[in-house]
Amino acid sequence: MEKNAKIYVAGHTGLVGNAIVRELKDSGYENLILRTHKELDLTRQAEVEAFFVQENPEYVFIAAGLVGGIKANSDAPADFYYENMQIANNLIWSAHKIGIKKLLYLASACMYPKNCEQPMKETSILSGYPEVTNEGYALAKIGGVRLCSYLYKQYGDDFISAIPANAYGLGDCFDPDKSHVIPALLLKYHKAKLRGEKQVVLWGSGKAKREFINTIDIAKASIFLMNYYSDEKTINIGTGEEISIMELSQMIKRIVGFEGDIVCDLTKPDGMPRRILDSSEICKMGWFPKVSLNDGLTELYDAYLLS
């Protein structure tokens, strides 16, 4: 990407999108096009098409979407499917219609099958059913990835897609009804510490394993791929390291300074038993993650205390 190129970041107020904007600015890209949801409703096709015609961006990063944890996804699968499918279709097709130079669509690791072979290779997509607790979201993300691939093959559009591991980082959502596991646990332990509680209840058995990646690393990888990757195949962005939810909980407990016990609520779902990406393809290209989980969690908790 040229430093003066017009770059549109969809979802710039979100967790990953905000990190991409920060990294673009730090890297010398200043000609950025940004719109809030109030300024542009990405679920409305006519609005999105008009925006693309008017602004005529050269490059597009798609980090927009309706996101949430297990509870939110389980409670509103229709919302998660519809909104994310609309956003993907509207943005990707509008970009195709005006002939932009390149597009990166960011998907999600939850789109892999529930019982996928681990670590999960890009070739395993559509080899089985996704985890039921986030099926609506997963299917929408699969649709966005496949549309990029179809446009690449049919029209020669340089539209690529990537699948980050579980994202966390500065700007994370600490709403107990919407947050993902890391901010949810940080908030839970922080409140328990302030109240002097003797224990914290952890959803599920704690045995499920996950791979977490800081949004700084996702942002750097996204710009790296935009500059150096072109293929119809989606590509994973991960750290290559996994941790059980119990181990993560213990790490957060230590960082927060909570001294009570951890009790598992076995009536709550674990979700997918294990989820780690095979990120060997992007690593072969020369990209590697830099932020350790401990450092990233400490930075996030410090930022929360200052908010």
* 254 carries a ligand binding annotation: no
- Residue 74 pLDDT class (50, 70, 90 cuts): confident
Answer whether residue 162 is part of any domain.
Answer: yes
Q: How confident is the model at residue 193 (pLDDT cuts 50, 70, 90)?
A: very high
Catalytic residue numbers read: 137
Q: 235 in a domain, yes or no?
A: yes
Overall domain count for the chain: 1
91 part of a folded domain: yes
CA nearest 221: which of 35, 54, 61? 61
Report if residue 28 sits inside a domain: yes
Return d(Cα 151, Cα 143) in angstroms, integer.
Answer: 12
pLDDT of residue 45: 97
> In terms of DSSP H, where are the helices of the chain?
15-26, 45-55, 70-75, 77-98, 135-155, 181-195, 215-228, 245-256, 280-284, 293-306
Distance (Å) of CA 121 to CA 52, 141, 153? 34, 16, 21
93 is annotated as contributing to ligand binding: no
Report if residue 86 sits inside a domain: yes
State pTM to two decimals: 0.94
The answer on whether 170 is annotated among ligand-binding residues is no
Q: 295 pLDDT band (50/70/90 cuts)? A: very high
Residue 269's pLDDT is what? Answer: 81
pLDDT of residue 72: 81
Q: CATH no. for residue 34? A: 3.40.50.720
108 token code pair: 């999600």
Measure CA 293 to chain center.
16
Structure confidence by residue, pLDDT tens digits, 16-65? 999 999 999 999 999 999 999 999 999 999 999 999 999 999 999 999 99
CA–CA dist 112, 123 (Å, integer) = 10
Which residue range is the domain that position 89 belongs to?
A: 7-171+212-241+274-291
- Is 293 part of any known ligand binding site? no
pLDDT reading at 275 higher than 90: no
For 167-177, the pLDDT digits (tens) are: 999 999 888 77
Q: Binning pLDDT at 50, 70 and 90, where does residue 5 land? A: very high
Quick check: helix, strand or coil at residue 148?
helix
15: in domain:
yes
188 found inside a domain:
no
Does the pLDDT value for residue 69 go beyond 80? no
253 is an annotated ligand-binding site residue:
no
270 is in an annotated binding site: yes
Q: Is residue 256 part of a domain?
A: no
Which tens digits make up the pLDDT trace of 195-220? 999 999 998 999 999 999 999 999 99
**Rounded Cα gap, residues 127 and 201, in angstroms:** 35
The pLDDT of residue 157 is 98
| For residue 115, pLDDT beyond 90 | no
